[in-house]
């Protein structure tokens, strides 16, 4: 992840164009940065609570990685067939039309801006916890961090890509140090007390579904490279390598982290823990464990923050280029950065930060669209295979249609599980998502009405 943004003599240098300067190193870095975050610190406790058995606990993490690989297989074909920056919005619009593209794009963009805000807030809170002299400055720190990464990217994709490489490398090294410490210093596990019983029958099936939901959310982000498809030097080669390599790297890190947890703590101690990694750090380092965990979290968040800015900017840029947002947001500077899209995305993230957490409900509702957008992406592959059979496909999904159908079925099952959890009274996220879905169509018609005169004149 060190040389993906070196100078390319063939790169386009004129203002108004994205620059084709990224390689596999950046692809791996953005997938690691976008995927590995606070989820791996919290999800092990939720998974172990549902499946308090070491082998089942680990098997669910493998199953989540298999789902991500199935998805990467389908997205690799779409990304090489349609090498345009903008992420899953590009595929949905091409296959399913403007409204489907608008729905995927605006939900993806808004949730990514919200995630930028949430991550910035965590960085601010943890920085204050590490340095008590900064007490009362958590919000200004969160805003400053969000704006700082936006300013870095304003200079161009080489800067943004270089920072992504460095921060993702730092994240990998930090997790490697944690894993090494667990295996080097752990082993004398405390006695398990009050061990939970493994459910049976239908209860076991429900527990597996709930555990998989937590794991799938933790893997979300594996498609990060397709947000930059037309900025990748060799899309036909680099996009599949980035997707498969990134998923396998994330899977390896997740498995090693969970194996390290089980080496330090019994599964009964992991189960239900809000921060299982924190419990392991405390077991190993005592009172210093909390500080180490907060430092690890900050390092982990920075690469994600950079990736979220990059991705949100590309989604808004792509929608603007297709006149599903103001065409002004499609302006690109000489460094290859869509500056208006970056400014708007950063401004929305800052507004979320200053709202004091009231945006959390919106983001929880939009989280439903994470998997819904994947489902629409997999459906897009079926549509384009049938409608455009002769289109150039540098990479063809292995095992199509069965592998894609399995990925689609997994996404649909996940969505049904989310709705069932809402009906059972556990959450209301999918109901909020349906409300947002209902609000999206009038907004789509308004955008089309506003942009119609501009389209006609051009």
User: DSSP labels for 102-141?
Assistant: HHHHHHHHHHHHHHHHHHHHHHHHHHHHH-GGGTT-HHHH
Give me the CATH number covering residue 419: 1.20.1740.10
Q: Is the residue at 349 inside a domain?
A: yes
pTM equals 0.90
Cα–Cα distance measured from residue 168 to residue 252, given in angstroms and rounded to the nearest whole number: 15
Q: Is 425's pLDDT higher than 70?
A: no
Task: Kindly state whether residue 59 falls inside one of the protein's structural domains.
Answer: yes
Query: In the prediction, which pLDDT does 14 show?
Result: 38
For 175-230, the pLDDT digits (tens) are: 999 999 999 988 765 555 555 677 777 778 878 888 888 898 899 899 999 999 99
275 contacts 38 by C-beta, under 8 angstroms: no
pLDDT band at 39 (very low <50, low <70, confident <90, very high): confident
34 touches 302 (CB < 8 A): no
Q: Which of 38-42, 77-81, 83-87, 300-304 has the lowest mean pLDDT?
A: 38-42
Compute the distance between CA of residue 453 and CA of residue 447 in angstroms, rounded to an integer: 11
pLDDT for res 201: 76
Residue 11 pLDDT greater than 50, yes or no: no
Taken in order 307, 245, 106, 102, the sign of the CA dihedral is positive
Torsion of CA 175, 178, 180, 186, to 10 degrees: -150
On whether the CB atoms of residues 160 and 26 are closer than 8 A, the answer is: no
Asked if the structure places residue 17 within a domain, the reply is: no
Q: What is the pLDDT of residue 181?
A: 93
- Residue bearing the bigger pLDDT, 80 or 14: 80
Return d(Cα 94, Cα 123) in angstroms, integer. Answer: 38
Residues 146, 149, 152, 157: what is their CA dihedral angle, to the nearest 10 degrees?
A: -120
CA angle 195, 196, 199 (to 5 degrees): 150
pLDDT for the residue 89: 97
Residue 387 has pLDDT above 90, yes or no: yes
- Judged by average pLDDT, the poorest of 49-58, 231-240, 265-274 is 265-274
Kindly report the number of other CB atoms within 10 A of residue 278's CB atom: 20
How many CB atoms are closer than 10 A to CB 162? Answer: 20
The answer as to whether 279 is a domain residue is yes
Which pLDDT score, from 0 to 100, does residue 435 have?
A: 75
- The three state secondary structure string of 38-56 is CHHHHHHHHHHHHCCCHHH
Contacts for 316 with CB less than 8 Å, ≥ 6 apart: 109, 325, 329, 338, 341, 344, 345
| Residue 415 to residue 421: CA distance in whole angstroms | 10
Residue 310 structural domain: 24-451
Confidence (pLDDT) at 286: 87
CB 311 within 8 A of CB 87: yes
State the pLDDT confidence band at 5, using cuts at 50, 70 and 90: very low
pLDDT tens, position by position, 301-327: 999 999 999 999 999 999 999 999 988
Cβ proximity of 339 and 331 under 8 Å: yes
**What does the pLDDT read at residue 62?**
96
Q: With 80 as the cut, is the pLDDT of residue 350 above it?
A: yes
Residue 447 clears pLDDT 90, i.e. is over it: no
Mean pLDDT on 233-246: 97
Kindly report, residue by residue over 131-190, the tens digit of the pLDDT. Answer: 999 999 999 999 999 999 999 999 999 999 999 999 999 999 999 999 999 999 887 655
How many domains does the structure of the chain reveal?
A: 1
- How does the average pLDDT of the chain come out, rounded? 88
Q: Does position 84 have pLDDT exceeding 50, yes or no? A: yes
The DSSP letter of residue 226 is: G
Give CA 50 to chain center in angstroms. Answer: 24
**16 — pLDDT class (breaks 50, 70, 90):** low
The predicted pLDDT at position 273 comes to 85
Q: Is 22 helix (H, G, I), strand (E, B) or coil?
A: strand
CA atoms within 13 A on the CB side of 416: 8
- The pLDDT-based confidence of 331 (bands split at 50, 70, 90) is very high
Q: What is the mean pLDDT of residues 425-440?
A: 70
Residue 8 binned pLDDT confidence (cut-offs 50, 70, 90) = very low
pLDDT of 345:
97
The band of 429, judged by pLDDT with boundaries at 50, 70 and 90, is low
Q: How far apart are CA 2 and CA 377, in angstroms?
A: 30
Residue 427 has pLDDT above 80, yes or no: no
Task: Return d(Cα 197, Cα 217) in angstroms, integer.
Answer: 25
Give me the sign of the Cα torsion angle 438, 439, 445, 447: negative
Four-residue CA torsion sign, 258, 403, 206, 436: positive
Contacts of 234 (CB under 8 A, 6+ apart): 23
Read off the pLDDT band of 13 (50, 70, 90): very low
């Amino acid at each position: 992840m060190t040389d993906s943004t070196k100078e390319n003599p063939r790169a386009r240098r004129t203002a108004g164009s994205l620059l084709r300067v990224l390689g596999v190193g950046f692809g791996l870095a953005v997938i690691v940065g976008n995927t590995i975050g606070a989820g791996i610190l919290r999800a092990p406790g939720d998974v172990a609570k549902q499946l308090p058995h070491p082998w089942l606990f680990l098997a669910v993490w493998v199953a989540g990685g298999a789902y991500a690989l199935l998805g990467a297989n389908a997205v690799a074909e779409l990304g090489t067939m349609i090498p345009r920056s903008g992420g899953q919005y590009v595929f949905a619009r091409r296959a399913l039309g403007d409204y489907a593209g608008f729905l995927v794009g605006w939900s993806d963009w808004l949730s990514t801006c919200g995630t930028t805000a949430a991550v910035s807030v965590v960085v601010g809170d943890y920085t204050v916890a590490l340095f008590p002299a900064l007490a009362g400055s958590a919000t200004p720190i969160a805003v400053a961090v969000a704006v700082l990464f936006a300013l870095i990217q304003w200079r161009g994709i080489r800067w943004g890509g270089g920072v992504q490489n460095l921060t993702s490398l730092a994240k990998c090294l930090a997790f490697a140090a944690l894993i090494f410490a667990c295996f080097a210093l752990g082993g004398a596990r405390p006695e398990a007390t009050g061990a939970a019983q493994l459910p049976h029958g239908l209860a076991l099936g429900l527990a597996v579904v709930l555990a998989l939901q937590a794991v799938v959310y933790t893997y979300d982000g594996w498609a990060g490279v397709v947000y930059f498809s037309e900025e990748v030097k060799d899309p036909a080669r680099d996009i599949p390598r980035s997707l498969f390599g990134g998923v396998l790297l994330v899977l390896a890190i997740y498995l090693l982290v969970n194996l390290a947890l089980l080496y330090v703590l019994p599964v009964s101690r992991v189960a239900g823990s809000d921060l299982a990694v924190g419990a392991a750090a405390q077991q190993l380092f005592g009172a210093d464990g909390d500080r180490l965990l907060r430092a690890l979290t900050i390092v982990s968040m920075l690469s994600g923050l950079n990736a979220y800015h990059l991705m949100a900017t590309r989604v808004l840029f792509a929608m603007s280029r297709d006149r599903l947002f103001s065409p002004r947001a499609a302006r690109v500077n000489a460094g290859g950065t869509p500056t208006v899209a970056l400014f708007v995305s950063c401004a929305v993230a800052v507004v979320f930060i200053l709202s004091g957490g009231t945006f959390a409900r919106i983001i929880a509702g939009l989280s439903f669209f994470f998997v819904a957008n994947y489902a629409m992406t997999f459906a897009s592959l079926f549509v384009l295979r049938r409608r455009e059979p002769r289109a150039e496909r540098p990479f063809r999904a292995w095992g199509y249609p069965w592998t894609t159908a399995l990925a689609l079925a997994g996404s649909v099952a996940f969505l049904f599980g989310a709705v069932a959890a809402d009906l059972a009274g556990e959450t209301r996220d999918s109901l909020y998502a349906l409300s947002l879905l209902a609000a999206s169509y009038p907004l789509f018609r308004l955008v089309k009405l506003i942009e119609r005169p501009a389209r006609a004149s051009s």
